[in-house]
Amino acid sequence: MSLSPVEGVALAEIESGGDAEAPERKGVVGRSPGQLAWARLRRDRTAMVSGGMLVLFMVLALAAPLIQMVYGIGPREQFQHLLDGFGMPLGYAGGVSGDHWFGLEPGLGRDIFIRLIYGLRTSLFIAFAAAVITATIGIVLGTLAGYLGGWLDAVINWITDLTLAMPFLVIALALTPTLVLRFYGEREAVSPAFGVGVLIAVFAIFGWTSTARLVRGQVIALREREFVEAARASGAGLGHMLFRQLLPNIWAPILVSFSLAVPQFITSEAALSFIGVGLSDETPSFGRMIYRSLDYLQTDPAYVFFPGVMIFALVFAFNLFGDALRDALDPKSSR
Amino acid sequence: MARFLIKRIFSATLTLFAVSVLTFLMFFALPRDPVTGMCPKNCNPERLERVREELGLNDPLVAQYAGYMKGIFTGRDLGSAQGGHCDAPCLGWSYVTNEAVSDTIARVLPVTLSIVIPAAVLWLLLGVGLGMVSALRRGTWLDRLAIGFSLTGASLQLYFVGAVLLLVFVYNLRLLPVPSYTSIFDNPLKWASGLVLAWVALAFLFSAIYARLSRAQMLETLSEDFVRTARAKGLAKPKVYGRHALRAAITPVVTIAGLDVGGALGGTVITETTFGIQGLGRTAVDAVRAGDLPTIMATVLIAAVFVVLANMLVDLLYAAIDPRVRLR
Amino acid sequence: MSPVEEAAARPVTETEPLLRVRGLTKHFPVRTGFRGRSLVRAVDGLDFDVRPGETLGLVGESGCGKTTTGRMLVRLLEPTAGTIEFDGRDITHAGRRELRPLRQDLQIIFQDPYASLNPRHTVGRIIAMPLQVNGIEPPGGVKARVQELLEIVGLNPEHYNRYPHEFSGGQRQRIGIARALALRPKLIVADEPVSALDVSIQAQVINLLRELQRDLGLAFVFIAHDLAVVRHFCQRVAVMYLGKIVEIGDRDDIYERPQHPYTRALLSAIPDVTRLGPGGRIRLAGDVPTPLDPPSGCRFRTRCWKAQDICATEEPALVPRAGGGQATACHFPESGPVAAATGAPAVADDAGPVADDGTAGAGAADGGSGTTVEEVSK
Tell me the percentage of chain A whose pLDDT exceeds 70. Answer: 81
Grade residue C189 by pLDDT with cuts at 50, 70 and 90.
very high
Query: How far, rounded to the nearest angstrom, does the alpha carbon of residue A154 sit from its chain's CA centroid?
Result: 28
Q: pTM (2 decimals)?
A: 0.77
pLDDT value for C295: 84
Q: Is residue A247 part of a domain?
A: yes
Answer whether A177 sits within 8 Å of B291, measured CB to CB. yes
Cβ–Cβ below 8 Å for A178 and B27: yes
List the beta strands (DSSP E) in chain C.
19-32, 36-50, 55-59, 81-86, 89-90, 106-109, 187-191, 219-224, 236-241, 244-250, 319-320, 327-328
User: Positive or negative, the Cα torsion across B13, B17, B18, B20?
Assistant: positive
Kindly report the CA angle at A226 between C150 and C152, in degrees rounded to 5? 15
- Beta strand pairing call for C106-109 and C187-191: parallel
pLDDT at C371: 34
Measured distance CA(A279)–CA(B166) in Å, rounded = 26
Residue B49 confidence (pLDDT): 73
CA C53 to chain centre: 15
- The pLDDT of B112-118, averaged and rounded, is 89
Q: How confident is the model at residue C179 (pLDDT cuts 50, 70, 90)?
A: very high
Inside any domain, residue A12: no
- The residue-averaged pLDDT of C299-306 equals 83
Least CB-CB distance to C163: which of A30, A236, A237? A30
User: Who has greater pLDDT, A125 or A290?
Assistant: A125
Whether B170 and B176 have beta carbons less than 8 Å apart is answered as yes
Q: DSSP letter at C186? A: S
Q: For residue C337, is pLDDT > 70?
A: no
Looking at residue C257, its pLDDT comes to: 83
CA distance C83 to A190: 68
pLDDT digits 0-9 by tens, A300-331 = 777 888 888 888 999 999 988 888 888 888 75
> What whole-number distance in Å separates Cα of residue B29 and Cα of residue A181?
12
Kind and range of the H or E run holding B93: strand B93-94
Q: Mutate one of A14, A15, A234 to test the C interface: name it (highest C CB count within 10 A).
A: A234
Q: What percent of chain B has pLDDT over 70?
A: 85
Q: For chain A, first and last CA: distance in Å?
A: 58
Question: What per-residue confidence (pLDDT) applies to A137?
Answer: 93
Q: How far is C284 from chain A (nearest CA, A)?
A: 32
In angstroms, rounded to a whole number, what is the distance separating the alpha carbons of residues B65 and C163?
60
Nearest Cα neighbor of A147 from A59, A247, A78 is A247
- Mean pLDDT, residues C279-285 taken together: 69
Which residues on adjacent β-strands are paired with residue C77?
Answer: none
Instruction: Give me the number of domains chain A comprises.
Output: 1
Tally DSSP H helices, then E strands, for chain A.
13, 0
Q: Is residue A75 part of a domain?
A: yes
State pLDDT tens for residues A273-302: 888 776 776 778 888 888 888 778 777 777
Residue A190 predicted with pLDDT over 70: no
Choose among C258, C199, C254, C252: nearest CA to C229.
Answer: C199
pLDDT of residue C176: 92
Interface contact C35-B3, CB threshold 8 A: yes
User: What would the mean pLDDT of C268-292 be, rounded to a whole number?
Assistant: 68
Question: Distance between CA A312 and CA A325 in Å, rounded?
Answer: 20
- Interfacial A residues in 102-161 facing B (CB < 8 Å): 161
| Confidence class for position C376, pLDDT limits 50, 70, 90 | very low
Q: What amino acid occupies position C307?
A: A
Domain containing A240 equals 42-329
Q: Which of A227, A225, A224, A249 minimizes the C-alpha distance to C179? A: A227
- On the question of pLDDT at A266 being above 60, the answer is yes
Task: Tell me what pLDDT residue C238 has.
Answer: 92
Summarize the confidence of residues C107-113 as an average pLDDT. 89
Of the candidates A162, A175, A275, which has its C-beta nearest B26's C-beta? A175
Lowest mean pLDDT among B108-122, C181-195, C331-345: C331-345
Using the predicted structure, report yes or no on whether residue C338 has a pLDDT greater than 80. Answer: no
In a domain, A27, yes or no: no
Does the structure show a pLDDT above 70 at C89?
yes
Average pLDDT rounded to a whole number, residues A188-200 = 76
Stronger pLDDT, C210 or C344, i.e. the higher one:
C210
Question: What is the DSSP secondary-structure string of A227-271?
Answer: HHHHHHHTT--HHIIIIIIIHHHHHHHHHHHHHHHHHHHHHHHHH
pLDDT value at position C344? 37
Average pLDDT over residues C299-311: 83
C241 pLDDT above the threshold of 80: yes
B128-137, C6-15, C95-104: which is most confident: B128-137
Mean pLDDT (whole number) for B276-293: 83
CA distance A267 to chain B (A): 7
Residue A183 inside a domain? The answer is: yes
* pLDDT attached to residue B43: 64
Name the 3-class secondary structure at C37: strand
Question: Nearest residue on chain B to C32, judged by CA atoms?
Answer: B327
- For residues A258-279, average pLDDT: 83
Give yes or no for C35 touching B (CB within 8 A): yes
What pLDDT score was predicted for residue A6?
Answer: 38
Nearest CA in chain B to C33: B327
Question: What is chain A's mean pLDDT, rounded?
Answer: 78
Nearest Cα neighbor of C257 from C3, C49, C31 is: C3
Residue A19 located in a structural domain: no
Looking at residue A139, its pLDDT comes to 92
pLDDT in tens, B49-82: 777 776 666 777 787 788 778 778 777 776 666 6
Least confident of B34-43, B130-139, C345-354: C345-354
Q: Which long-range contacts does A216-219 make (Cβ < 8 Å, 24+ apart)?
A: A216/A141, A216/A142, A216/A143, A216/A145, A216/A146, A216/A153, A216/A156, A216/A157, A217/A146, A218/A142, A218/A146, A218/A249, A218/A250, A218/A253, A219/A142, A219/A143, A219/A145, A219/A146, A219/A147, A219/A246, A219/A250
Q: Render pLDDT for C317-327 as a digit per residue (tens, 0 to 9).
A: 887 765 567 88
At position C230, the amino acid (one-letter code) is V
Measured distance CA(C199)–CA(C176) in Å, rounded: 18
Q: What tens digit of pLDDT does each residue of A81-105 get? A: 767 766 677 666 666 666 767 777 7
Give the residue from C376, C208, C194 showing the smallest Cα distance to A12: C208
State the burial class of residue B99 (Cβ atoms within 10 Å of its Cβ: 0-12, 13-18, 19+).
Answer: middle
DSSP structure class, residue B83: T
User: Which residues neighbour A225 within 8 Å (Cβ) at sequence distance 6 or greater?
Assistant: C115, C116
**CATH code for the domain of A238:** 1.10.3720.10
Q: What is the mean pLDDT of chain B?
A: 79
Q: Looking at CA atoms only, how far is residue A259 from chain B in angstroms?
A: 14
Average pLDDT over residues B145-174: 84
**Is the pLDDT reported for residue C32 higher than 70?**
no
Whether A20 maps to a domain, the answer reads: no
Measured between alpha carbons, how far is residue B2 from residues B5, B7, B14, B315 in Å? Answer: 5, 9, 18, 13
Q: Given the cut 0.90, state whether the ipTM is greater than it.
A: no
Query: Are residues A319 and B308, on separate chains, in Cβ contact within 8 Å?
Result: no
> What is the average per-residue pLDDT within B254-280?
82
- Residue A13 belongs to some domain of the structure: no
Mean of the pLDDT values across residues B245-260?
A: 78
C184 in A contact zone (CB under 8 Å): no
CA B214, chain centre distance (Å): 21
pLDDT at C372 over 70: no
- Every domain of chain B and the residues it spans: 34-90, 103-321
Task: Provide mean pLDDT across the span A240-252.
Answer: 86
Mean pLDDT of A115-119: 87
Picking from A119-133, A224-238, C184-198, C275-289, which range would have the lowest pLDDT averaged per residue?
C275-289
pLDDT at B326: 56
Q: Cβ–Cβ contacts within 10 Å for residue B322, how many?
A: 10
C34 to chain B, any CB pair closer than 8 A? The answer is yes
Residues A34-64: b if buried by 16+ CB within 10 A, e if exposed: eebbeebbeebeebeebbebbeebeebbeeb
* CB atoms near residue B118 (< 10 Å): 19
Which residue on chain B is closest to C31 by alpha carbon? Answer: B327
User: What would the mean pLDDT of B159-183 be, rounded to a whole number?
Assistant: 82
Tell me whether residues C35 and B327 touch, CB distance under 8 A.
no
Question: Which class would CATH give B103-321?
Answer: mainly alpha
